[in-house]
Structure 1
Amino acid sequence: MSKVNITDGKEFILLGFGKLNNISIFIIFLVIYIITLFGNFLIIFLVSKSIKLHTPMYFFIIHLSICDIVFTTNLVPNMLHIILEGVGIVSIQSCILQFYFYGASTVAECFILTAMSYDRYLAICKPLHYTSVMDIGVCLKLIGGSWLLGALSTLNTVLMIFTLDFCGPKVIDHFICDVAPLLKLSCSDTFVVEVAIFVLSFPLVIAPFMFIIVTYICIFVTILNIRSNTGRQKTFSTCSSHLTSVSTYYGTLITIYGVPSRGHLININKVLFLLYTVVTPLFNPIIYSMKNHEIRKALETFIYKGRVQGCVFNEAT
């Protein structure tokens, strides 16, 4: 069996969804992708334009939307190409680059969601200290740290993958370049890479999730101590969108890496990955637009101003 180094410029073949690669599936996922981009860009626009939304929570929501845009744009266009063509052919370098942006955006989103949970914890459990603790400097550090950790942690894994040799046939029975199928195709010893990924998974994914759980336990205890039902409902509504987003994101993330991707389970794994890569990024714009009163109000205000300006323009002409 011949060895192929990364620098040889060889290619991987992505099989996609097999018999499900057809025009109907292509159209469905294309529409979802367009709606996802539109929804996230709309949130970024509304938060940027509305002075009332210039708060730490919405600052984090902007970066959550940016993260989802990077995540989906990195994966979905190539996936759509595979569905349309039946298979996808990508260079080894491009495959590893896709994995890099996939991993970096995944880790960054984990920490952004963690920063948002800390924000909600301070707002609900420590309201008197909120404005003094959660200032612009802290927000910038939390967001900068989230993006930096995502970029550097995944870069470490990618650099190790670049040292591996790959043996033919270089066929990946998937629609994305994830780390597991990449390591499976390598004819080098991948033990060090696997150990590094396993060790990094705790501080980068599991620890943030545990932190979120602890903060929400504190939040729920504080809410339960509020005497009036109206007060409890009003307080809970301030974190319900974030809680829904966390549950959706971590639920799918834990499930896809908890289900084995071998034998007859590989199709189940593909479906779970599909939910994670295509459907989950669609949820955030829905959650933060339909369930969030302030975002809806900002949208209504923007539409109203647009109508008023349109009427003034028509009268002037």
Structure 2
Amino acid sequence: MTRIDLLRAFVILGEAGNYTTAADRLGISQPTLTKQIARLEDILGQLLFHRSRQGTELTDFGRQFLAEAQPMVREADLVWARGLRMAAGQTGRLAIGFTFSALDVMTRALIAYRETFPDVEISFDVISSQSQLPMLREHRLDVAFARWQDSPDLSACVVSSDGLAFVYPASRAGEIDSIDSTAVRHLPFIRLKREIAPGFEGAVQRLFDGKGIEPVVTHWVNESLVQLRMVEAGLGVAIMHGSAVASLIDRSRLVVQPIDGPNLGWQTAMYWRSAEKKPVVLQFLKIAQEIAAERR
């Protein structure tokens, strides 16, 4: 029997003013409650209640001590409730990194997770695959959606496949019919900066090298969304993530053509620390894995 248990018994009896009622609220027998109050009085060296056939009444000391004990017991109950919710993964913080290739799966997982765990604080950022895994190891991320790479110190599961897509304004459809069109060699390209997405840009460069294209690059940008909007505005053409483009574009203004070829596609995986114990993370992993399995 801890001191907080003794205080809780005292507070409930002090508020109820009746041993039978208080014992019922505590879920214990009346003799057990009598022993707990006697134990607390023994520790304090003061009587807390006057007992008579008419009932139970607080002593002067008991009234003063009740005022002191009530806030402590209520706070302890709140802490306990919060602890139970944290242990169930219902509260806490979750930091997620992702690339555009995982946008669809990650978004679906977030929506489903938020519906079940609305009180968890979530942060999610677009981060390059090469940066995410070190951040995961350093506990700066809890979950990473990154291009597949062999990482035996981490747990992972493949969540999606992706590839390249040639994107250009619908207004140019008359002069372009594919990436192999002669006109492509003279069009301005809008590309992601290599340091932002080195793996993706490596695939883009392999495409150009394989087709003998030396692109005229007019803009290097930091984000795929910026890249997309610039193509939409007619400022150039681009090679982009096929999955991200498919979910973001207005098909009436842009043409998207998937590009097949050796070493041009890739898989995206969800990574987490193998020894992960945080309930909020484990709950998210469960939901995300279920959604990824449905999409395969």
TM-score, normalization: structure 1? 0.23
Greater Cα radius of gyration, structure 1 or 2 = 2
Q: Higher strand share goes to which structure? A: 2
Higher helix proportion: 1
TM-score (norm 2): 0.24
**Structure with bigger RCO (C-alpha 8 Å, 6+ apart):** 1
